[in-house]
Each structure stands twice: as C-alpha cells, then as structure tokens.
Homo-oligomer: A and B are copies of this chain.
Amino acid sequence: MESIKDKVAIIGMGCVKFGENWGKSLEDMIIEAAYEAYEDAGIDPKDIQAAWWGTCFAGHTGQIMASPLKLKYIPVTHVENACATGSEAIRGACYAVASGAADIVLALGAEKLKDTGFMGLPQTRPIATWSYRLTSQTPPAVFAMLATGYFAKYGLSHEEGKKILAHIAVKNHYNGSLNPKAHFQKEITLEQAIKAPMIAYPLGLYDSCGVSDGAAAAIICRADMAKKFRADPIYIKSMQIAQGPREGWLSQKYDFAHVEETWRGGNAAYKEAGIKNPRKEINIAEVHDCFGITELTIMEDLQFSPRGMVKEDVLAGTFTLKGDLPVNTDGGLKCFGHPIGATGLRMQYEVYKQLQGKAGPRQIKNPRIGLTHNQGGEPGAATVSVLITGNELG
C-alpha cells in the first residue's frame, strides 16, 4: 500500500468566531469561513474544483454548502461521521487530490447548535445515535463512565481525579483566553473548576465542553503545486480513521480507562507519517476534549504519556503553551464548544496557524510537526492526522 503522505498540502484556512452566533445564519458562517480560506490561499472561488462538506444537523446534501458559495456544477459531497464529521470532510478532500481527481478542493464544516439543540428534538432520525437512546445516556453520562473507570483502574481518589481534570480545564481556558475566535475567552482557577456544579458524576461544568455555533474551512491542494500559492504551505502526512464497533461503551469488553479507537487511529497515523516516537516528534496536538477525561485518556492512547501516568505530565505542565508538548493551544472544545461538522476543521486551523508561526499570543516555539485527533461517536471513530511544515519526514 502506498499512502497520501507526499501528495497533499493545505494552502489556506478559515475559521469564524465560534459562539452563540444568533446574528449569523448557517450560510453566513459558511461564506465567512470559505472566504477567509480563499483569501489566505490567494485563490479565486472559481479555482475550487470539488468540495467536501461536513455537517450533522444542517441537511444531507452537498447543496446546503454549494448554494451560499455559488459552487456551480462541481462535485460537492456531504460526509458525516458523528463528532468526527469535520475530519471526514478533510479526509475526503485529501483522497480526491491524492487520487488525481482534482488539484484544488475545499473542505468545510459548519453547524448551528444553538438553533437546533445538540441531541435535541430535531435529531430524530430513526437509528441515529441509538446507543445514547437505548441507555438513555447523554454524552456527559457516557464520558463520566470513562472517568470513573480510569480513576478506579489507576487508583485515583475522587479528589485526585478532579484535581487532574481541573488542571486540564484551567490550561484550556487559559489558552482560550488568548484566542479571539474562541467562544469562551475567560481564565478560570483550579478552585472554580473543582467546585463547579456537577454535570454527570464525576464530571463538573468545567470538565465539559459547551454548546456553540461555528464553521471552519480548508483549501487542499496537490503538494507539488502548493508553493505556487504560498511560501509556507502545510503538508498533510497522514489522515487515518479507526472505526470501532457500534456498541461502543455498551460493551462489557471495554475497560473504561482508555479508548481503543484512539490508540489504533494514532498508531495508524504514526505508521503512515513515519513517526517513531510521538512524544518527542509531535510538537503540538489539537485533541478531542469534549470532556476533560477524554483529553486525559487521549494523552495515553496517543502515546504522549505512559498508561496510568498522564497525571504526572499534567501536573508538570507538559501540555501547557510553554510545556514540551502543548495540547489544545487554541482552547480546545472546552473553549470552542463542539459544533460538530466544524470541530475537526477548527483543530486543523489551529495546527496550521501554529506551524506557520501565526498563532499570535498563543504561538508556541518553532513547531514543526502537529497532530489533530477528532473523535466521533461513543467513541465510535477516532481520526488522527499529522501535519508538517515541510517534507522532512520520509
């Protein structure tokens, strides 16, 4: 098997300010994200040869995105894979470019969650998200099981566990406070995080991401053409997804202390990108912190920390902006909420800006290799991508 790893690059990205965007329609956000990306890439909208559109709640055809962008009679494909939908849009775009079917394409994800309500009444497709329904479990309840399972397996008391999670919340809120595009741009204290109202034991308010509207876009192009458009394109070295069984955490086989999909997705991505030591080689990661416990276990599943030992890295500040391996430098889902179709692309946006040295007050020092991790379902699917500033990898 070959790979896509020397074939595709990102030459432009756009991202709206996430939040309660009552004053913007879905179409407004689509246009804003796409045109920031066009301008960033220095291309004309007419240069787009095909497009991939990620959304869960905004309709099931490519037309929903094609119309506001006036993309006429080119291929526009809708993809959806639960919370990993945004990453699927990029993946579809990468495969098309790597296959030779197109040279320059658009990947865009958007969601209006404030209008429709996440998992609310409009989401009534018959079999969709069935495991939540069968068990009457909301996402906080499902991920709370991961927290209690992890705490139990590694002998953390409630107080110890909550403290580790609070450090993650404080870090992500600090990062978000430096980010004008975040929904929440406010620092919090450890005490606030620990004493916050309980959402689903042991997860409190600050251990959970919010509900936001948002959109983000990427222009994907053939790697060998990328430098025609800009001096600092970012290359995509791998784009992998591991899809787990539908039963997810309903299965007794889960240990509720890790996410197998993330471990497998990470391994597949490292293999494709030629990464041998993730902890040393990855310089920045944007991961799926829908809940603090998810970020915690992702650090172990992606091999950033040894099993059961992530607490030491968290307490040592490893994942802060000044640490060895900054994680969720933009504030993560914690500060951006999770407008489903947009999240995977919003992650790419941050890694792209960081690798270009254009992340403003959040900029970390000389990152060369970045990673995104976007999880879909319960857990369902884990998508992992590796981005790089040049073609340094083999």
Contact = CB atoms under 8 A, between A and B. Distances in A.
A317 interface: no
Q: Which residue, of A63, A97, A128, has the highest number of chain B Cβ atoms within 10 A?
A: A63
Contacts of A88: 77-78
A223 interface: no
Interface stretch (A68-76, A168-176, A206-214, A359-367): A68-76
Given A62-B81, A66-B246, A81-B61, A1 B380 contact: no
Interface string A75-93: 1111111100000100110
Interface in A374-389: 376-377, 380-381
Contact of A242 (B74, B97, B264): B74
Contacts of A1: 49, 100-103
B99 A4 contact: yes
Contacts of A134: none
B74 A77 contact: no
Interface residues of A, number: 73
Interface in A96-147: 96-103, 115-116, 122-130
B100 A57 contact: no
A94 B99 contact: yes
Contacts of A380: 61-63
B77 A242 contact: no
A381 B116 contact: no
A64 interface: yes
A254 to B, nearest CB: 13
B80 A61 contact: yes
Contacts of A128: 59-60
Given A75-B240, A101-B95, A381-B61, A245 B66 contact: yes
Given A76-B381, A77-B81, A66 B243 contact: yes
Q: Which residue, of A101, A123, A265, A377, has the highest number of chain B Cβ atoms within 10 A?
A: A101
B76 A77 contact: no
A44 interface: no
A261 interface: yes
A61 B376 contact: yes
Contacts of A96: 95, 99
A246 B63 contact: yes
Nearest to A61: B82
Contacts of A264: 73
Given A77-B79, A127-B58, A63 B95 contact: no
14 contacts: A3-B100, A59-B126, A60-B80, A60-B81, A61-B377, A63-B244, A63-B381, A73-B260, A74-B242, A74-B243, A95-B98, A122-B126, A124-B124, A125-B125
Interface of A: 1-4, 7, 26, 49, 56-64, 66-67, 70-82, 88, 91-92, 94-103, 115-116, 122-130, 239-248, 260-261, 264-265, 376-377, 380-381
